[in-house]
């Protein structure tokens, strides 16, 4: 069982939901990212999604785009992202880390080289936003032998045939996109999301976590109640942005990730 699967299984045995924060690697800088990762865990995060900065993101809203731009201005590249994971692993060998990003940097490195280096650094899973499942055979063949889970997105518009293919190629968890839009938008119809998740459960035994639109205790609680957990990105990256222009002491780091503690409390107290 992978570290991701074990983490979610342990939470399920405790009747708890998984909380997955997303941050951009290298925003505002490399050392601060690693410190933030540890702060996220101490505030209740179970799995960390670490964004690979990319200049032309297709699914990210303004907040995360700006985070990627801040990281790119620091010169952050894929090798630096892997170095951050390796640094994090020096004192945390249990929290799963999923790299989330776009295909171009991985293709430049080469699938096999990426898989080997990611595994060596301590990465547990990969989510490549713009890699269609029907074009992922070569990528899956490179990463699966190294024990890396592959996470795919399911959108409200995804057809049942495509969902079946995604479920077959996925491991770790399914990332359900709660809305038709980019990160940072607001959830409108939780009833429709509940129905779609029910349809997904008929097609897979994998845990289903909801992302996009999770921004506060109410939205986290509502989505966790109908799924296996939630992912928060834009609301967190927006707070981290302040570190670019302020001191980066312990108090400032804690303030940037305090939202995670709030969401942890919310999803641990679902009626």
Tokens of 87: 């640094």
Q: Is 56 marked active-site?
A: no
User: Are 233 and 64 within 8 A, CB to CB?
Assistant: yes
54 pLDDT exceeds 80?
yes
Tokens of 73: 């201005």
| Distance, CA of 225 to CA of 130 (rounded, Å) | 29
Query: Tokens 């933030």 belong to which residue?
Result: 36
| Distance, CA of 160 to CA of 191 (rounded, Å) | 19
Per the DSSP assignment, residues forming a β-bridge with 18 are: 229
3-267 — its CATH code? 3.20.20.70
- Nearest residue to 118 via CA among 90, 153, 144: 144
| Distance, CA of 126 to CA of 27 (rounded, Å) | 19
Query: What are the distances in angstroms from CA 115 to CA 34, 82, 141, 214?
Result: 21, 11, 10, 30
Q: Which residue has the higher pLDDT, 188 or 217?
A: 217
User: Are 129 and 136 within 8 A, CB to CB?
Assistant: no
User: Are 175 and 232 within 8 A, CB to CB?
Assistant: no
Confidence of residue 267 (pLDDT cuts 50, 70, 90): very high
Q: Which of 43-57, 94-108, 238-252, 257-271 has the lowest mean pLDDT?
A: 238-252
DSSP H or E segment with residue 7: helix 3-13
pLDDT at 180: 54
Catalytic residue among 27, 29, 60, 124: 60
Q: Is 160 marked active-site?
A: no
Mean pLDDT confidence for 92-114: 97
CA 216 to chain centre: 17
pLDDT at 185: 45
Instruction: Write out pLDDT tens, residues 14-29.
Output: 999 999 999 999 999 9
pLDDT at 56: 82
40 pLDDT exceeds 80?
yes
Instruction: Write out pLDDT tens, residues 116-158.
Output: 999 999 999 999 999 999 999 999 999 999 999 999 999 988 9
Catalytic residue among 27, 29, 49, 149: 49
pLDDT at 174: 96
User: Are 4 and 98 within 8 A, CB to CB?
Assistant: yes
pLDDT at 60: 77
DSSP alpha helix (H) spans, 43-171: 62-73, 78-89, 103-109, 111-121, 137-143, 160-169
| Distance, CA of 178 to CA of 206 (rounded, Å) | 17
Taking all residues of the chain, what is their mean pLDDT, rounded to a whole number?
92
DSSP H or E segment with residue 237: helix 234-240
pTM: 0.94
Tokens of 168: 């077959």
Confidence of residue 184 (pLDDT cuts 50, 70, 90): very low
């Amino acid at each position: 069982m992978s570290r991701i699967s074990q983490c979610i299984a342990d939470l399920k045995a405790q009747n708890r939901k998984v909380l997955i924060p997303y941050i951009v690697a290298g925003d505002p800088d490399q050392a601060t990212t690693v410190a933030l990762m540890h702060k996220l865990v101490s505030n209740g995060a179970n799995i960390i999604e670490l964004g690979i900065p990319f200049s032309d993101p297709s699914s990210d809203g303004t907040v995360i785009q700006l985070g990627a731009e801040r990281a790119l201005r620091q010169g952050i590249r894929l090798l630096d992202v892997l170095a951050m994971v390796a640094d994090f692993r020096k004192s945390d060998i249990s929290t799963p880390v999923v790299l989330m990003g776009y295909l171009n940097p991985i293709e430049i490195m080469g699938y096999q080289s990426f898989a080997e280096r990611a595994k060596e650094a301590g990465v547990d899973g990969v989510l490549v936003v713009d890699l269609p499942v029907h074009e992922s055979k070569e990528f899956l063949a490179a990463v699966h032998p190294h024990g890396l889970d592959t996470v795919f997105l399911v959108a409200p518009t995804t057809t049942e045939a495509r969902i079946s293919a995604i479920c077959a190629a996925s491991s770790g968890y399914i990332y359900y996109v709660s809305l038709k839009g980019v990160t940072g938008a607001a959830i409108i119809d939780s009833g429709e999301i509940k129905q779609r998740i029910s349809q997904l459960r008929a097609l897979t035994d994998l845990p289903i976590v909801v992302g996009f639109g999770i921004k506060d205790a109410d939205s986290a609680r509502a989505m966790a109640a109908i799924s296996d957990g939630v992912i928060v990105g834009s609301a967190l990256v927006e707070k981290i942005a302040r570190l670019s222009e302020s001191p980066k002491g312990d108090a400032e780091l804690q303030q940037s990730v305090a939202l995670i503690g709030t969401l942890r409390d919310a999803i641990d107290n679902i009626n």
